[in-house]
A and B are shown apart, each in its own frame.
Chain A
Amino acid sequence: MPQFSVALATEILWWRGRHGIENMKKNNLITPEGTRDLLFDECLARRKIETDLMSLFKSKGFSEVVTPLLEFYDVFDNYFTQEQMYKLPDAKGRLMVLRPDSTLPIIRLAETRLRDEPRPLRLCYNQVIYRANPKEAGVDDEIAQCGIELIGGSSAGILKLAVEVFKTIGGNYRFELGNCRIFSRLAKEYKIDPEKAELIRRLVETKNYSGLSALDIPAIFVELPKLFGGFEVFEKAEKLFKTETMKNRLMALKRVYTELCEYVKGDKITVDLGLTNELGYYTGIIFNGYSEGFGEPVLTGGKYKVGNTLAAGFAVNISELSLKTNLQNRGKRYISSLVCEGGQ
């Protein structure tokens, strides 16, 4: 066929599609934005990390649970905004969502079917979550996560387990500790009204030094977001924190920090006193794990309270980890020479 007629045919097709004449346009050859197919090495990388982490969790006494991908909207109400979730109605018109998080469904499970089980409950999971991200942001909406929830009882031990995750994954990492009750207690001690406290919290959370300096607030709030790094942070903070409660809270965090530093040699463990309760359910120690080459934390967790349930847990972003490891082999076909016995 001469080339010009191919071009013409394409143009006609385009024009017809554009003007709705071709109303049979199907999306049968693409995946929805924010999702992807995983091939060969990508699958192997993901399954390997999943298997390694799940066997780590199970070796520490955690039992795996699977919750439905679809949950009622109400499970996540108060913690996620409508815009963050994929939604659809059930047959009775009740609103369902694709779970944007695994923690809240597991708490639902703990408060219902596992209500009478002895505490602490040690649960772990390996499942995907969905977040409705702004379009064309270059981030996945479908995220595979492995994580644990320790429900009831002491949360001691989960920090070491979180650090173990990085030992298992390998690579250069930093593990960061904070306590969201440092900010909330300070706000209370300086009698900051809730509306202003939320404004200050957001500025502390985003380390907006200029924004904080411009406000008429006690100097401690300007210093708080700068208090991150290694051991020296505690020395600085000890001079700034005035009350008994604050000093005690700092000492408690320092004990946890020192203990963890003994467990992991080197400068891997850091502290950020400016971490605040962003997600809305954390109640004490919170922590983030950063890995070199990743634009956001690959592990997040902390102590939290949902309803009447006190628990602690963390989640690891498996999608990010598996996609960025082994980039050079991306999509490489793994078993290329396998043919059916008896085939032609």
Chain B
Amino acid sequence: MSDNAKNAIRIALTKGRLEKDAVKLFGKMEWDISAFLDKGRKLIFDIPEQNIEVVIAKPTDVLTYVEHGVCDVGLVGKDTILEYGGKYFEVLDLGFGRCRFGLAVKKGADFYSGCGVKTVASKYTNVTREFFESKDMDVDIVKIEGSVELAPLLGLADGIVDLIETGSTLRENGLEEIEKLADISARLIINTVSMKMKKAEIDKIISGIERNLT
């Protein structure tokens, strides 16, 4: 890492949903996590006595930072990895942040009927495209940034591809899941050069995490 004089290991942590579980995991590894408990607006945290820095970032940025090697290690959801790809080692399934990619339609609708081209709304357009390509199906994909559930209700789309945790949002909006695309959970990713150049330090983190996974 060019801008890291202390030669510390820098970890990029996904902001939000995964953050709490990740900090809990760090705590189990007996890292001093007091900085996270009262973090205010800080974005970079030192973990005392470990020579580790933790950066809080949005999911896609975690991939970017790790791919470029400005962070050595990343904790990020498989959903982001599937959607954006990239070159890094994806070493561990952390087991938390579990959910799935699912195809959902209006309750009772038959998505696969007829021979017309279907319209599918999603925030995850690459995942959606690959899924339907694997079925040799031509679909129109519309990118929606916010609540994708709206698209079929408003008549813009025949179905949606989205992250589904419990399915309650779908149910409350009269939609139902008809197919699972992939299981999702948080992953530990490592920059390809860091893995080799800082092997001892990275190995220590990987085995520490592995021991504390539930």
Residues of A within 8 A of B (CB): 137-138, 172, 174, 176, 206-211, 214, 228-229, 270, 272, 288, 290, 292-297, 324, 327
Contacts and interface: CB of A to CB of B under 8 A. Distances in A.
Contacts of B208: none
B192 A296 contact: yes
Given A207-B190, A290-B196, A327-B2, A295 B70 contact: yes
Interface string B151-167: 00000000000000000
A293 B2 contact: yes
Nearest to A288: B196
Nearest to B69: A295
Q: SS class of chain B's interface: helix, strand, loop or mixed? A: mixed
A222 to B, nearest CB: 12
B54 interface: no
Interface of B: 1-2, 64, 67-70, 87-93, 187, 190-193, 195-197, 199, 206
A209 B92 contact: yes
A207 B69 CA distance: 17
Nearest to A207: B89
- For A137, A138, A207, A292, which residue has the most chain B Cβ atoms within 10 angstroms? A207
Contacts of A294: 69, 193
A125 to B, nearest CB: 24
Contacts of A295: 67-70, 191-193
B151 to A, nearest CB: 25
A229 B201 CA distance: 13
Contacts of B197: 172, 174, 290, 292
A207 B91 contact: yes
Nearest to B187: A210
A228 B2 CA distance: 24
Given A138-B68, A327-B2, A296 B193 contact: yes
A297 B193 contact: yes
Contacts of B193: 290, 294-297
Contacts of B69: 293-296
Contacts of B195: 207
A174 B178 CA distance: 50
A156 B183 CA distance: 47
Contacts of B90: 206-208, 211
Contacts of A172: 197
A176 B67 contact: no
Given A209-B92, A210-B92, A294-B69, 5 more contacts: A208-B91, A288-B196, A296-B69, A324-B2, A327-B2
Contacts of B87: 296
A209 B196 contact: no
